[in-house]
Chains A and B, each alone.
Chain A
Amino acid sequence: EDQVTQSPEALRLQEGESSSLNCSYTVSGLRGLFWYRQDPGKGPEFLFTLYSAGEEKEKERLKATLTKKESFLHITAPKPEDSATYLCAVQDYGNNRLAFGKGNQVVVIP
């Protein structure tokens, strides 16, 4: 069965203090790994898809990387508007559904 573990569960950052979020996964064959951002009371907003180890993608202050066992979401010089819960999900070749982690709750303090 697919497993997705995100750490840390919660993170408080000072504005400008860069940090990384971790998503560890176990699948029989990775079709894709997805990162979403979710604001309170709203639906997840799609950020990135990563397909293979070594791949990197960037969007503003966010950079996602992928290895064979985990993905990192790096937040560079965060701003208060980066406060959100970041969700990681994997799609397995053997099981087309997305398996989600519990999320990383990030609070950026001005």
Chain B
Amino acid sequence: ETGVTQTPRHLVMGMTNKKSLKCEQHLGHNAMYWYKQSAKKPLELMFVYSLEERVENNSVPSRFSPECPNSSHLFLHLHTLQPEDSALYLCASSTRQGEIDEQFFGPGTRLTVL
């Protein structure tokens, strides 16, 4: 595998379910990000991890819980989501958070909340 991978690619869940999104980067980067992309809106930054430490939590509801066990893996745990949380969730990585930040994205997980 090369670049940034995300699983699953598609997820349908009910409002009471618990699920997790997984991201893995094979680029040797030390910063990882979660973004939300909704139709007709700019990408919204959700969380930033640098060297496995969460450095930014962009006012995201607690029903989204990130986890970064090491510099190559990032998870987004989902719990009691709302229909308005349906979106494309993108993971990205970069060489270093704080320097010029060329971020490389995964293919995304298309989430539908029923």
Chain B contact patch, size range:
20 to 34
Chain A at the B interface: SS class: strand
B112 at the interface (CB under 8 A from A): no
We find that the number of chain A residues with CB closer than 8 angstroms to chain B is 24
Judging by beta carbons under 8 Å apart, are A97 and B107 in contact? Answer: no
Judging by beta carbons under 8 Å apart, are B104 and A101 in contact? Answer: no
Picked from B41, B45, B108, the residue with its CB within 8 Å of the CB of A98 is B45
Interface pick from B11-19, B74-82, B94-102: B94-102
How many residue pairs, one in A and one in B, have C-beta atoms under 8 Å apart? 57
Judging by beta carbons under 8 Å apart, are A4 and B101 in contact? Answer: no
B48 to chain A, nearest CB (A): 7
Picked from A41, A44, A97, A101, the residue with its CB within 8 Å of the CB of B105 is A44
- B contact residues around A91 at 8 Å (CB): 100-101
Which interface residue of A42, A43, A45, A91 has the most chain B CB atoms within 10 A?
A43
A6 to chain B, nearest CB (A): 9
A102 at the interface (CB under 8 A from B): yes
Instruction: Name B107's closest neighbour in chain A (CB-CB).
Output: A43
Judging by beta carbons under 8 Å apart, are B107 and A42 in contact? Answer: yes
